[in-house]
């Protein structure tokens, strides 16, 4: 069965979505969306942040309930009132922000809600054995007994995938499944997709990686501002057409003109060591530059940032800010040194999802709004400033973060740190799960910050992002800085040679 003919077969759709409308507090975010989804197809869902993609998939998986419209599954009208009713139909969802319990281990999370029992007791031996089989299928060497709290973001993604595969899944929904995976892990993931498709499983997923979408999908649904723009067979549309339909206009150059800092170092890290993680890390960040950190997952990039920010205890090493040695043992110490850090795990380490936009923006900078009592008016005014500056799309400034799209959550996260008025900004995977237009906005904003004298470190697994933004790139491998690239040497080949140990 070829991709171009998939949606035209005589078989019936596995799922029919008819005139779905969704409103939050009277604000309509989906407008009469109608889609047929077929058995054994891979359906991509594209659109800018705030286009309604995640909202639609959450309705199909029972997390949200539709305001109006109907859903048919396997030819029958169904009411998907909650995730349990979706799972009973054979619909599972892997969310972009993980739904795992840090204090439980891998196999306990995988079987959460699907526990195996042996009489009156849980059959942990059977669950552990099944987990080993699932992890082997995913080609990951995770320990079933490892606590979730000890895992990297990429490893947590693998646990979420395994968790979805435990049940008899007919439709597997995924929100940005590859954003935290290495190129090798993406290849493993795509092979898994093909195996699931061969079994007749339908896969529906959101992705902002247009090359991947073009490679793996059969059809594409494109949403804009809550409206269905088009449904295209993947062979009939190229990446430029995808981007154009998503934003409704032509996209100009996504990356701004590169900036080159002065020779003045604002941050100097010397002989930084953490046993088993980091070895003899030495680098300088210059005033007004964008310094990139490249490397494969587990190379030590995030651990370096966390050590500099006081989130990890160093075994040895010195940090200088503006030529003066400083002691940073906590984030508060780093903030006092005018440093800011956006973690790759925005929900786990950055934002409070049941707080509104105002409270999230002032999470770290609250002290400046306090004079005896919190000056709520000043706090709100500053939040409104950032909502306008970053074009944060929300029903209200009082909207809880859980009701915002991933890209708008990321903008709030950036605004939170901007409110501390930093001189040094460390961004860890700053555009993970963000659409192409929002990426462009963030890239240009970062560029503007450097023109104002701010110095920026960008940690990214997207080589194109580092090549487009950074004036220097440091490449890490196995906890060490193994290469420094400038000028024309900042390219895919050179970065990967160092990252893979070929240079």
In this prediction, residue 188 carries a pLDDT of: 79
Nearest to 410 by CA among 425, 388, 432: 432
In this prediction, residue 1 carries a pLDDT of: 33
Where does the chain hold its CATH 3.40.50.300 domain(s)? 3-90+168-247, 287-315+326-499
357, pLDDT greater than 80: yes
CATH classification number, 287-315+326-499, choose in 3.40.50.300, 3.10.20.30, 3.90.1210.10, 3.10.105.10: 3.40.50.300
Return mean pLDDT, the chain: 87
| Residue 343 DSSP label | -
Using 50, 70 and 90 to split pLDDT, how confident is the model at 18?
very high
Q: What percent of the chain has pLDDT over 90?
A: 45
Pairwise CA distance, residues 295 & 460, whole Å: 8
In this prediction, residue 347 carries a pLDDT of: 66
Edge-to-edge strand order for the sheet containing 316-321? Answer: 278-286, 265-274, 316-321, 324-326
Kindly state the tokens that stand for 39.
């058995």
In this prediction, residue 249 carries a pLDDT of: 57
Q: Is 256 exposed, middle or buried (0-12, 13-18, 19+ CB in 10 A)?
A: middle
Cβ atoms within 10 Å, residue 381: 12
Using 50, 70 and 90 to split pLDDT, how confident is the model at 250?
low
98, pLDDT greater than 90: no
In this prediction, residue 9 carries a pLDDT of: 47
Angstrom distances, CA of residue 273 to CA of 126, 316, 335: 41, 5, 22
Pairwise CA distance, residues 374 & 85, whole Å: 44
Asked whether 31 and 191 are in contact (CB, 8 A), the reply is no
Angstrom distances, CA of residue 251 to CA of 47, 405, 440: 14, 21, 9
In this prediction, residue 4 carries a pLDDT of: 38
465, pLDDT greater than 50: yes
pLDDT tens-digit series, residues 141-152: 889 999 998 887
In this prediction, residue 252 carries a pLDDT of: 56
In this prediction, residue 348 carries a pLDDT of: 65
Using 50, 70 and 90 to split pLDDT, how confident is the model at 277?
very high
User: Which fold does the domain 3-90+168-247 belong to in CATH?
Assistant: Rossmann fold (3.40.50)
């Amino acid at each position: 069965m070829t991709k171009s003919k998939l949606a035209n077969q005589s078989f019936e759709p596995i799922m029919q979505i008819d005139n779905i409308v969704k409103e939050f507090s009277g604000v309509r975010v989906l407008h009469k969306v109608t889609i047929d989804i077929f058995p054994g197809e891979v359906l991509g869902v594209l659109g800018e942040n705030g286009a309604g993609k995640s909202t639609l998939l959450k309705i199909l998986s029972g997390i949200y309930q539709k305001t109006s419209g109907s859903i048919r599954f396997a030819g029958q009208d169904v009411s998907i009132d909650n995730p349990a009713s979706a799972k009973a139909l054979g619909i599972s969802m892997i969310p972009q922000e993980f739904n795992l319990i840090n204090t439980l281990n891998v196999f306990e999370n995988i079987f959460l809600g699907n526990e195996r029992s042996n009489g009156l007791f849980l059959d942990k031996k059977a669950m552990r054995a099944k987990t080993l089989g699932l992890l082997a299928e995913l080609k990951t060497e995770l320990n079933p007994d490892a606590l979730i709290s000890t895992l990297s973001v990429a490893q947590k993604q693998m646990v979420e995938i395994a968790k979805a595969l435990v049940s008899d899944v007919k439709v597997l929904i995924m929100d940005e499944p590859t954003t935290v995976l290495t190129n090798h892990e993406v290849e493993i993931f795509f092979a898994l997709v093909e195996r699931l498709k061969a079994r007749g499983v339908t896969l529906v997923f959101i992705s902002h990686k247009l090359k991947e979408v073009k490679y793996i999908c059969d059809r594409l649904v494109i949403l804009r501002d809550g409206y269905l723009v088009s449904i295209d067979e993947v062979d009939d549309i190229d990446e430029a057409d995808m981007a154009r339909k998503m934003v409704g206009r032509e996209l100009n150059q996504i990356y701004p003109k590169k900036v080159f800092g002065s020779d003045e170092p604002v941050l100097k890290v010397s002989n930084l060591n953490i046993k088993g993680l980091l070895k003899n890390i030495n680098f300088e960040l210059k005033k007004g530059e964008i310094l990139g950190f490249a490397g494969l997952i587990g190379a030590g990039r995030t651990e370096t940032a966390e050590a500099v920010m006081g989130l990890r205890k160093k075994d040895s090493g010195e940090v200088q800010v503006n030529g003066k040695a400083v002691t940073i043992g906590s984030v508060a110490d780093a903030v006092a040194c005018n440093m800011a850090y956006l973690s790759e795990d925005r929900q786990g380490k950055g934002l409070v999802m049941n707080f509104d936009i105002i409270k999230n923006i002032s999470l770290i900078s609250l002290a400046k709004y306090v004079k005896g009592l919190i000056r709520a008016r000043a706090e709100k005014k500053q939040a409104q400033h950032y909502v306008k500056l970053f074009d944060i799309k929300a029903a209200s400034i009082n909207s809880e973060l859980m009701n915002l799209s991933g890209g708008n959550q990321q903008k709030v996260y950036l605004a939170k740190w901007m409110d501390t008025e930093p001189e040094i900004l460390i961004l860890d995977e700053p555009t993970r799960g963000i659409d192409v237009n929002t990426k462009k906005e963030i890239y240009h904003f970062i560029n503007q910050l450097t023109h104002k004298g701010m110095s920026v470190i960008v940690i990214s697994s997207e080589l194109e992002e580092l090549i487009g933004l950074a004036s220097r790139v440091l490449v890490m491998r196995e906890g060490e800085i193994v290469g420094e690239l400038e000028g024309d040497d900042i390219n895919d080949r050179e970065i990967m040679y160092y990252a893979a140990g070929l240079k």
